[in-house]
Structure 1
Amino acid sequence: MIAISSGKGGVGKSTVTANLAVMLARQGLRVGLVDADLYGPSIPGMLGVPSGQPPAMTSTKKVIPTEAHGVKVISMGMLTADDKPAVMRGPMVTKYLQMFVTQVDWGELDVLFLDLPPGTGDIQLTLAQAFPLAGAVVVSTPQDVSLKIARRGLRMMEQVKVPILGIIENMSGFTCPSCGEVTHIFHQGGGRTIAESMGVPFLGAIPLDPAIVDSGDSGEPLVNAAPDSPAAQAYASIADALSVDMDRAGGLQIPFAWDLTTGEGKPAPASQGSADRPLALDYDATGLTIRWPNDHIQTIDARDLRLSCRCASCRDEISGKNLLEPENVPMDVVPTKIWSVGNYALGIAFSDGHGSGIYTFPALREIESVEAEDV
């Protein structure tokens, strides 16, 4: 699962997503595309998918995605007419996003693109917490304002431990069809500069081309309509770079939901992984045991784990003051369920009825262990 994101609107992110998806499908990969911009869906129009025609359902009540140009697609634009707004509060947005990923009959896929709306709000956080994103691609124009906002979006993905696969500079320059002179309307080289300054890959620059607009409006992506154009060649180069960097970061196999009362859903251990993701989890009378990379083993007492909760009801979000009184936590409290929260945390429910705590991996490592040893 790869998120295509940008902090700023109007940078051509959906156009980039549509063309990359079609290019990877042309290369033989099985590609799905979720239009996660529920308020302003544009993917159906760019891929020639009719709007306002709800998709069919399978006998198991799963949505059958529409296929266009070799790509399986789901979008709010397929459920509503062109001029009908999607008026929804946050909980409904979350519900639709989860439905688009988990209740769609995708079949076997090599990659599922998530075309995100601009910003760093509910949609971005929901996807980062609910699903194991293999990485994110950040799209920006060379304009300084756009790059500054793109940096914020990139930092947001880093905070929730979504690997940054790279930065794409869109609208990087216009080549005059008559004289061949290149005019850099939105400045030059900003995408590469910000990628180098933040230590992430620069995937490539896509030039301005009127044919991109025409192909998007006609529902025929540029990589199909004009495969030999400079812009299409840029898309092909970026697709090649992505296709060799789609492996999920190593570590604990996610997603999972482990019911400690029955033992069901315990995550399979991993042999290797990134330094900040656990390799294995176990639980017994001594507490929660976490095996980290470099053979470090940490065991956290169940009550200490409960007292370390940092949710809004246990700790003041502004001051950081601990709101949870130790005398209100039973001495025999134990975790009852542990589940993955995106790539960066564990959710834990306890026998005292508390279940809103999210424990980031760095926060877990900071909890004083009952027993810690280097093997």
Structure 2
Amino acid sequence: MTPTQATPRAPDDTGMAHLGQIIAVASGKGGVGKSTVSTNLALALSAQGAAVGLVDADLYGPSVPGMLGIETGKSPSMSPSGKVMPAQAHGIKVISMGMLTDDDKPAILRGPMVSKYLRMFILEVDWGTLDYLILDLPPGTGDTQLTLAQSFPLTGSVIVSTPQDVSLKIARRGIRMMEQVKVPILGIIENMSGFTCPSCGEVTHIFHHGGGAKIAESLGVPFLGAIPLDPAIVDCGDEGRPLVIAHPDAPAAAVYRDIAAILSGRVSATAGIPTPFDWHWADDASKPNPAPQPGHAGGAAEILVGLDRRDGRTLVLRWQDGHDQQIDMRDLRLACRCAACVDEMSGRAVLDPATVPLNIVPIRIWSLGNYAIGVSFSDGHQSGIYTFGHLRGMVAAEVEDV
């Protein structure tokens, strides 16, 4: 399923500045040590003096509480403001489905409930003021990844893989998915990269070696580092004391610190329009602010730096490359590509233009992550996702017709 076929939702809250930089740790497949990386990376950032929160977003297979020695199956306390109090372990704040259920009790959830819990874990937790919020995602490119990309202003994503060819090929899918929803790729981490014998010191590359660096180079994304296999990582995880805490002098712990240092110098707020926003068209309530830097020659064609309106029925979009675009609202309604307007199998338009009023106007316009907007129209339609590429493509079609 492509992002243009999902049902959009307006952001639940626009006050997310206190969450700091939101970094998703993702993988194309399971078993690559993503949760271990997320946990140790969060602790390494904390050791640098940052305030860090960690969301265990793998609702079906939460493992972070065990790695941090957090008690499970106990209802968390509530703050005076009615928000959930996160657990605290080794200096970081944590929320996980594993804290809400017993170890052997499965989370049996349909898609809408997954989205509900994810939003709760981020928006309804009393995080305080953070520098970083690390999201430990489940493997794959499904509901969780799409919900987070659509609902929250992700600073970027870190992709975890092992050196195996099969893992690297699947990692490509995760990278392409993040690129499709305009989440910057902060880098690739090659986990389980070589095993150093504790007796003789000889390094054995069990899963090959160097694949992470090669795929990063081929895709034009940064390579953050290679984390070696270390039996202590397993022992520390089982004991609830992660490697960077229990064995700070271990080679793998040093790599985690190096990666944290690289990330802390690399992440920055998106260059585009600040998100999330939920703009009410009639009275301009919550109208989005323009990007800190205006459009300029040499900027990106699909990064939105401003939204405005010329009149009651004309949307103005300003792009980073300096181009200003005007779209009539009826044209925007007719360009919807949701399943109700376009046949998903053939791509043939099924929306009858005669059914769209000439004087149609938007009710609300909201952000979907860093890659699209959702629009609620006066005819009741609100299921379309307009990606920035789609919107910019409308301009290209208009120019070609002139």
Q: Same fold (TM over 0.5)?
A: yes
Letter in 2 for 1:75: S
SS at 1:156's partner residue? helix
* Structure 1: distance between partners of 2:397 and 2:65: 54
* Structure 2: distance between partners of 1:213 and 1:153: 25
1:339 is matched with 366
CA contact (8 A) 1:298 1:371 kept: no
* Structure 2: distance between partners of 1:262 and 1:57: 36
1:237 is matched with 258
SS at 2:304's partner residue? coil
CA contact (8 A) 2:313 2:361 kept: no
Identity %: 66
SS at 1:295's partner residue? coil
Greater displacement, 316-325 / 133-142 = 316-325
SS at 1:73's partner residue? strand
1:5 is matched with 26
SS at 1:294's partner residue? coil
Letter in 1 for 2:175: L
2:7 is matched with none
Letter in 2 for 1:315: V
Letter in 1 for 2:270: A
* Structure 1: distance between partners of 2:294 and 2:34: 34
1:129 is matched with 150
- Runs ≥4 residues deviating over 6 A: 369-372
1:349 is matched with 376
1:104 is matched with 125
Q: CA deviation at 1:369?
A: 8.7
Q: Please point out which of 212, 215, 218 is paired with 1:191.
A: 212
Q: 1:369 to 1:196 in 2, by over 3 A?
A: closer
Runs (5+) with no aligned partner, structure 1 = none
SS at 1:244's partner residue? helix
In the comparison of the two structures, how many residue pairs are matched?
A: 372
Q: Please point out which of 141, 152, 167 is paired with 2:188.
A: 167
Letter in 1 for 2:128: G
1:313 is matched with 340
CA contact (8 A) 2:312 2:361 kept: no
1:117 is matched with 138
Q: CA deviation at 1:317?
A: 1.6
1:291 is matched with 318
* Structure 2: distance between partners of 1:362 and 1:72: 37
- Please give the per-residue CA displacement for 1:252-289, whole angstroms capped at 9, x wherever unaligned: 11000001122111000112476122111112235001
Runs (5+) with no aligned partner, structure 2 = 1-21
CA contact (8 A) 1:301 1:370 kept: no
Q: CA deviation at 1:58?
A: 1.4
Question: Once superposed, what is the RMSD of the aligned Cα atoms?
Answer: 1.4
Q: CA deviation at 1:370?
A: 12
1:282 is matched with 308
* Structure 2: distance between partners of 1:5 and 1:294: 30
Q: CA deviation at 1:185?
A: 0.4
2:74 is matched with 53
